Every structure is written in C-alpha cells, then in structure tokens.
Chains A and B, each alone.
Chain A
Amino acid sequence: MTRCAGVFVAALALIVAFGAPMARGQSGIQLGDMNGAARPSSFVRFAAESQTVTARRLVDLELRFQIDPPYHINSHTPRSQFLIPTTLTVQPASGGVEIGEATFPAGHAYSFPFDPGNKVDVYSGSFIVKLRVKATPGEHTVNATLRYQACDNASCYPPKTLPVQILFTAK
C-alpha cells in the first residue's frame, strides 16, 4: 500500500511538472495566464440609462462607465505629464439644455508589476462622471465623447474615444 501511494505521488509529480498549462507562443514569449481571452475591441463601455431630473434647476447627471477587466485607464488627473488623462467633451446642447461642468471621481493608485515604486492614478472596474445641467421640462439628449487610454499589467494601447449619448427627462 505504501509502495502504491509512493508510485501515485510520483506520477502526480510528473504530471504537475510536465503538464504545465504554459505554452510558448509563436511570438516567442510565454503567453501565460491569458484566460483564453482575446484582446477586446474596446476597453470601456457606457451604461446608457435614461435619467429623470428636476427641471429648471442645476442638477448632476450620472454617467456610468464600465472598464473591462483586466484593463485600467488613466484617471482624469494622472500623475505624469506624459500620461493621457480621461476626459469628457460635451457637444453644445440646444433645446433648453444648459451644460455645466463635468466632475470626475478620484482614481486609485496603481503600479506596474516590475515598477512597484512608481504609482499612477487610474480607474478600473466602474466609475461615474457627473455632468451638471439645467434643463427645461421635457425629454433631452446630450451628446459627448469620452477620451481615454487603456493599459493592462504589461502593455498599453493607443488612446481611444467613446461616443456617449445621454438621455434624460426633466420634470
């Protein structure tokens, strides 16, 4: 019985040692823990939800964005002059809507694995941008563009823009 257990453990050791799930890809690098995920065509999605606000008063619309894991984007105030901040450009509105300022949330500190001493300020997961408006009663549409630049833990990707169509009702 002891001999059988020993043989079993040895066999298990061989399986663990040589059946590793790592593949050396065509690129010559270890593709590692890819989770089988192809890189997405976009990194950030806008959760378009119609909102109801009080008419003729300064109010904040909440624009909810979702960043696909495992990516992060620079916050509105990244710590380096060279990093591209996340910004929102709002098109001039008409039809009884006055557009005010957009307020971004604070980011959180992040450091790349091989540079733990250097922190950047990022968003990951979800974040909300507040857009101040004042509108006459009725249904309204405001168009905007979110500009952002995404990275993962070893690579970065060129900046991108995301059209944002904000629907809300003022009562």
Chain B
Amino acid sequence: MVVGVALVVWAGWRNWRAAHRAIPIAMIQPMQAPAAQQGEAKGATTNDAAAGVSGLRGKQAPAFSLVDLDGKRVSLGDFKGHPLLINYWATYCGPCQVEMPWIEDLSRKYAATGFEVVGITYDAEVGKATIARAAKGLGVTYPILLSDAATEKAYLNGIEVLPMSFYVDRVGKIIEVSPGQGSKEDLEAMVKETVAAGN
C-alpha cells in the first residue's frame, strides 16, 4: 500500500516536471490565413506550411547563400562535414535573446567536435547596425546572416515562430526542428545529439 502511494506520488511529480519543462505554446502549426486587415504578415500559410517546416526533419538541409554583417557571403556548403545549428531569430524576440547567449556558450563548449552555429536574422529590415548591436550585446560571436525570401521559404515556409532552430548533422541531414525557446539543458541535449549523429 505504501509502495503504491509512493509510486503515485513519484509518477505525478515526474509528469508535472515534464509538463513544465516543455515548450508550452510554440508549435509547428500553420498560421491560419489571416483576415485581410492583419497586414504586414509575411507569408500567411495553410496547412502545407506546417508540413513544410516539420517535414524538414529527416531531410537534407536546404541550401542557402546569405550575406553576413560584414557583407561576406556565407553558404550552407561552408559547413560541410560539421554538425550545425541554424537558429532563426529577430532583434525584437525576447526568447531569442534568452537563448542566444546559451547558444554562444555551447558553440564554444562543443567547438572541438566541429560543432558550428549560424544565426539567421528574420528582421533584416532593421539594418545591419541594429542587428550587430543586438548580437554584440548578447555576446554572440558566431556568424549572423541576413535572411532572404528564398531561405525563409525553404526553412520556415510561412511559419513565423521565433526562435526556430534546425539541427543539422555532419552529413547535412536535419535531425530536429525546434520552435520556441526551451531550457538550456534541452538545448545542450540537442547539441549533443547533433554532434553524435551522422557519424
């Protein structure tokens, strides 16, 4: 009887902890086509969009060629053979600002494994100076690239959830797509998984 009660208590605590470790709100589901009045939305989507983003899991990472804050062109191919985190963010995104220092820490911690990170800014329209100031303020030294329409379509396909992370293994396969910001522990677990994959 005592053992049974203890099991119930333990199980309930475990489930509560799992629930509160989850990312409760961000989800890969399409934004329904907005009413015409909600303008400025980039890429209102249909259900195809959700399939587009979540469907990237297990697929080869779409090629990109984007410009960094120094004007240098950076391509997916530059990271060939490296486990890679592609992190979509925006200067106005609070959760992005929480996790980017963690990502910076992890990029240094796992550098010896070949792990690399690239940040893609969703709000390139605010200008390089503002983006650079934001990234510098967060202590970020990994490359920051300015997004373009083609790359957004390939990776986000109208799903406007930030941050959005794509974990790419050494052979270029996306092993996980993660919307929203979770814990640093979950982030590191995904980095480890990415480093280990594709060997």
Residue numbers of A with Cβ under 8 A of B are: 2, 5-6, 8-10, 12-14, 16-17, 20, 22, 25-34, 38-42, 70, 82-84, 112, 114-115, 118, 120, 149, 151-163
In the complex the two chains form, what is the Cα distance from A155 to B179 in whole Å? Answer: 8
Pick the residue among B10, B18, B27, B99 that contacts A39 (CB under 8 A).
B27
Residue B14 is within 8 A (CB to CB) of chain A in the complex: yes
Whether A112 touches B22, Cβ cut-off 8 Å, given contacts A42-B38, A160-B41, is no
Residue numbers of B with Cβ under 8 A of A are: 1, 3-5, 7-8, 10-12, 14-15, 18-19, 21-35, 37-42, 44, 53-54, 57, 90-99, 122-123, 130, 134, 160-163, 176-184
Pick the residue among A5, A120, A158, A160 that contacts B122 (CB under 8 A).
A158
- Where chain A touches its partner, the secondary structure class is loop
Interface centre among B14, B22, B94, B182 (most CB of A within 10 A): B94
Q: How far is the CB of A79 from chain B (nearest CB, A)?
A: 10
Whether A155 touches B162, Cβ cut-off 8 Å, given contacts A16-B15, A30-B21, A112-B181, is yes
Q: Is the CB–CB distance between B38 and A161 below 8 Å? A: yes
Interface centre among A8, A26, A34, A154 (most CB of B within 10 A): A154
Q: Is the CB–CB distance between A152 and B26 below 8 Å? A: yes
Pick the residue among B7, B23, B184 that contacts A10 (CB under 8 A).
B7
Q: What are 20 A-B interface contacts by the 8 Å CB criterion?
A: A9-B8, A16-B8, A17-B11, A22-B19, A27-B54, A28-B177, A29-B179, A31-B22, A39-B161, A41-B35, A70-B25, A155-B25, A155-B26, A155-B93, A156-B95, A156-B162, A157-B162, A160-B41, A162-B37, A163-B37
